[in-house]
Structure 1
Amino acid sequence: MKFTNPASILLAFPLIALADVEFTSPEPGATVHGGDVLTALWKDSGEPPRILELTDYDLFLCAGGSSVEYSEDIALLIDNGSFERGNSVSFQVKPDVGAIYPNAYFLKMVSRSVNTTVINYSQRFSLSGMTGTFSERVQTGLSMLPNVTGDHNELKKRQFAAAAAAPAAALYNVPYPLQSTGLTKYAPMAQHPGTTITAKSAPPRFPTSPYTVAQTHLPIPTWQTTLTAPQTFSTTSIENPATPAPHPTDDMNNYLKRWADGA
C-alpha cells in the first residue's frame, strides 16, 4: 500500500499529495459554516496511479496536528464514493463533530483500485459555528502547530508536496483493542511464513486481548477503516525442474472394477 505522510515541518497544512488525487477545494485558509453544504473538488495530479485507475473512495473530515499521531478522522463524509461520478462531491458537516479553531480541519480521501490503496489530504480550512469538542489528542496536535493568520496568500506560500511514506510505525504497534479514538484503526503487517518448519507445537504467538464481559448493550463501534502496515518482504518464484509423474496406466479398468460388486 502507498500513503502520503505529513512531514515534520508541516506548518499549517496536513499535506498535498503528488499522486492520483490533488484537492483544489476547499482552498487553504477558507472558512465554511458548520451545518452548511461543503463541496470538495479535486483533479488528477499527473502522477501514478492516475484517477482513471481508481474505482471508489471514502472521504473523511479530519482535525488535529501535522502528524497522524496527533490528528483524527472525526466524521465519515462519503462512504464508497465512485470516481465515475466526477471529480467533486458535496456533503454537510454536522456542527457537533468538532470545535472552533483556526485551520484545524482538512479532508482525507482513501482511494482504492484493484491492487492499490492510496491516501490523499486536502489543505487546511476553518469551520465556524461548530458546537462540539476536540479530543485531547487533537488538541495536543493543534497546540503544536505554529500560529497562522489564515491569510490566503500566506497559506499559499506554505504549500509543499509531502513525501510518500507509510503512517508512523508506532500506530501499527498499538494493540488493536486499545485503539479507541478516531474512525481509523491500524493493523500490523501480515507475517511472512518461514522457509522451514521447526516448531514442534503450536502455542499462541501473541497474548490474548484484554476484554470486559458486557453487562448491558455495548455502543455501536465508531471506526470505519482499518489500514494494514505495508509489506516489507518480497517473494520470488522459480520453475519446478522435476519431471512430471506419468499418468496411471489401465486407469479405466481400475475404475470399472469399483462397480463390479454391484453388477
Structure 2
Amino acid sequence: MRLLLPLFLLVSHVLGQVNVDSPKFGTKYDLSSGTSMITVEWSVSDSPGPKKQEILEYIFTLVSGPNLNIEAFETVGKADAKQVENQKFSFPLRNNVGANGWYYIQVLALTEEGHVIQYSPRFQLTGMVGGRTPQLATDTMTPSREIMLTPNILANMNSMSFSVPYGMQTGLARFAPMQTQPATKVTKKTWSMVYPTSSFTYFKDNKRRGEQLTTVTPGWSYGLPSKWNEAAIAPQPSENGGWYHPSQRLSLTPRKINADERLRLASQ
C-alpha cells in the first residue's frame, strides 16, 4: 500500500523533480553501537514545475518493502526548506527501529500546491535489534515518483457564500452558518426543527472523486467574557484525610518460612 494517500481531489499537474542521490544503492550501515548517522542528499530540477525555493518543507521516513507494497518504519526527520538549502540532511538512526535488512528513505517535499514524493536507493542496515522485520524485496530500481495536489477550492469564496442554505449548496466547499451560543434561559415549551429535513440517496458504485471536500464555518462576530478561576487550590490527599499508609490495610502480618515448612503447607 502506498504511503500518504491523498485526502483531497487529485489534479493533473507537474511539480519539480526531486532526485535522491544518497544513500547509494547497497551502502551498508552498522548500527551495533546503538546508532549511526545517515545522510540523505538530493537535487531539485526547477523545470518543469515550481522552483526549488517554492518547496516549504521536507519530511524523511524510513521505509522498506517492494515498490508496490511500501511499509513505513519511522519518520526520521523534518526540515524547513530554508534549513537544508544545500539539499543535504543528516539524522541519527537507532538500531531498535527494526531488524537487519534492506531499507530506503522516502523524501516528501511539501509545497503550497501539494507535495512530491521520491525515494532513495536501497541500503542495508546491520546490527539492528528491533523486532520488526523489513519485507524482502527484489526490486533494484527505486519506486516511481508520486505527485499529489489539492486544488484551491476556496479561491472564489466571498461573504455571499454563507447566505445560501447549506442543503442547496453543490460545490466542493460548502459553507455553514455561524456557530451561536445557547441562551441563558429556556423559554420555549415545545421544540421545532430549525431546518427542514432533506432526502438522500445511496451511491450504487464507488465514486472516483469526492462530492464535497470541506465545510467552512465563519468565525464568531461576537466575543465571550472570561475571567480567572479564583477558586482555592484543593488540598493534597495527605492534607484532607484521604491519604493512608498501606500498612493500615494489611489484615495479616508477613512472616518468613523455610523451605520444609513451605512444602508442608503446599501438601495440605
TM-score bracket for the superposition, by shorter chain length: 0.3 to 0.5
Q: What TM-score, normalized by structure 2, do the two folds share?
A: 0.46
Bigger Rg over Cα: 2
